[in-house]
Structure 1
Amino acid sequence: MSADSERHAMKMAKKKAARDKIMATKTDEKGLIVIHTGKGKGKSSAAFGMIFRHIAHDMQCAVVQFIKGGMSTGERDLILGKFSDICSFHTMGEGFTWETQDRDRDTEMAQAAWEKAKELIRDESNKMVLLDEINIALRYDYIDVNDVVTFLVEEKPPMTHVVMTGRNAKDDLIEIADLVTEMELVKHPFRSGVKAQIGVEF
């Protein structure tokens, strides 16, 4: 073994020992409150990645879409077509707010979505519930953030994961979350005149 390789091996051995020591202290399990927010792309995609992990592990889960309307998306079509027995999927919104232009209707639909979300979260057979674009509904005050925070703190079963997506996550929600990721926009093809494409955006 060369001197460089030996030094590298020793360095990695020290790193592994330190890592193993840290990992030995991580013994708790709990249902997490997870938020994907920020202006960057990938919030829902990351959340659906977790849903597909649950499906792969044969764990019951559910999705509630707060804003996106009836448009076909790869995630929804795949789940409804092949995994509806293990993942219930509820598209409750009627489209993006700038398309509907009807605040009363949007509020009514968001409230119905929140009621469905609470029902699914209370059902302990669901190991994960994804609330897709709930942050948008909260941003426009279609739902009261205090109601969401109170419910998650007081009623969420201890081993149920709840994942929430959408820009502009409210501070009160971030405060009670266990994991918050902010997607940062560095570059986006839309700014160069490229439209949303199948397999990338939907």
Structure 2
Amino acid sequence: MKSVFIIVIFMIASSLFGLELSNNKLGPLILGPELLISKEKLALHFPEYDVVHDIRSGDSPDFHFLGVYKLDELIFYIVSYIDTEEAVAEYPMHLLVVVSPTITDKYGLRVGDSYRDVVLKRSDELIFGAGHHTNNLGANSIYYEFSLEPSGFDQAIEMPDMSPENATIGDLVEQNPKIESISWPYPSWD
């Protein structure tokens, strides 16, 4: 009975103050690549949200997509890559991506904050990298995704001339872009 009371208090506090992402938790949900997740478990941890499960595909292997919504707005999602042909009810958490400013991370950062905010609030050494369409910055299981504006236009391919792989930390400093998403435990491949 005591544990039910504590869970109810935590759910009320989460609704009032929002959720926080740390290296090993998102609100009441304990995170770990070895821990298994399902639509039902997410719904149990986040009863005030709607949870959707789909099988999706892309440049990667097919994956389970578990989306958590509030009033039709995607708040965060979990990706679990499918590595077996067996039907399973639970799957490992390979990637969690926060896309809503209603969730802050343990540093007080959220979607919509700027690159400068990241530098001011994080004292650890951050790793700069490139995803499929975005650049990322982070360390210690929490990463931020940014879109950088290209510096020109390549007439030969009729597209912007800067792929994420060609971007530099100097571009990030100069443009001071906004955080588009926050991911755990690795950068998102967006």
TM-score category of the 2 structures, normalised to the smaller one:
under 0.3
Hey, which of these two has a bigger chunk of strand by percent? 2
Hey, which of these two has a bigger chunk of helix by percent? 1
For normalisation by structure 2, the TM-score amounts to 0.23
- Larger Rg over CA atoms: 1
For normalisation by structure 1, the TM-score amounts to 0.22
